[in-house]
Structure 1
Amino acid sequence: MAPLTGCDPFDRDAEPAPGPDPLAPLVDEALALAAAYREAAAAHPTLAGRLTPIAEAHAAHAAELARVARVALRSATATAPPGAPAADPDTALAALRERETTARQTATRACAEAPAERAALLASVTAARATHLEVLR
């Protein structure tokens, strides 16, 4: 079995891959998640107390990922998900859980493939996304 690059503390001298930074898609994903949570909170004010902090966490993750990847942080409206949130709160929460599950899987894969200096950040993002799923129950 090959070791996971992001989990090898001695892999500090790995050359960065040419081309776009692999964190760039995670920046866009975090911005889209932040927008989805904000839209759901606006559509369902009774959920705002639960959803607003998660939206803020995704926005903070996007900013930090963009800083590390040295990519421009686009506005959340540029990456907003298509369509409006579901009409009822339960369906809106289910849709957010589905998106959050996919995002957690994306972050987990990115962490496993990341060089050591990025693994801690990606592990934090992954853990936060798992926590968000608990909040959405």
Structure 2
Amino acid sequence: MVLTGAVRMSITGYSRRRVLGATVAGVATTALSGCGLFDDEPAPPEQPDPLQPLLDEAVALAASYDRAVAAQPGLASRLTPLAEDHRTHAAEISRLIGKTPPSAGPSASPPVGAPAETIATLRSAEQAAQKSAVALCRAAPAERAALIGSIAASRATHAEALR
């Protein structure tokens, strides 16, 4: 004799299929709710890397040197190596934070004035950028401090070269 009736669980009175189906549905709901499918809140915006201001300064300083050279070509031999240093810094920072090195973008009008005024303006910009790099170096994790310290030292050297 073959029994073809539904098999009932002992105390609850539910079939194995019903219990198994409910268990699978519960696990699936838990998994989906954990992956954010049912979340109404948007993901928080990605925080910029703490080295982004250092990158922005490097790009701005290189552009300042380029504008100065365009306005006063006689300063090119003195200023071009300094601009190249800043472009190298920007490329290295970009690599470290996983970004494409930014371009200088549209350049503003070149500075006008005597070469001495241009040099003084660039020296002031280097000194300000060096101070911000030192402050960032003090707060940076060890694996980034060497690069930031090197950039700060380079900026200090640039300021001295512009005396």
TM-score (norm 2): 0.68
User: RMSD between aligned alpha carbons?
Assistant: 1.4
What are structure 2's unaligned runs of at least 5 residues?
Answer: 1-45
Distance 1:136 1:77 in 2: 25
| Matched length | 118
Distance 2:127 2:112 in 1: 18
Deviant stretches of 4+, over 6 Å:
none
Larger RCO: 1 or 2 (CA < 8 Å, sep 6+): 1
Q: Does 1:112 align with 2:146?
A: no
Q: What does residue range 1-137 of structure 1 map to in structure 2 within 5 Å?
A: 19-77=47-105, 80=107, 82-137=108-163
Between 1:43-52 and 1:57-66, the stretch displaced more is 43-52
What are structure 1's unaligned runs of at least 5 residues?
Answer: 1-17
Conserved? CA contact 2:63–2:104, under 8 Å: yes
Q: Which has the larger radius of gyration?
A: 2
TM-score (norm 1): 0.81
Conserved? CA contact 1:24–1:71, under 8 Å: no
Which residue in the other structure is 1:10 paired with? none
Q: Output the amino acid matched with 2:159.
A: L
Conserved? CA contact 1:54–1:132, under 8 Å: yes
Distance 1:132 1:38 in 2: 15
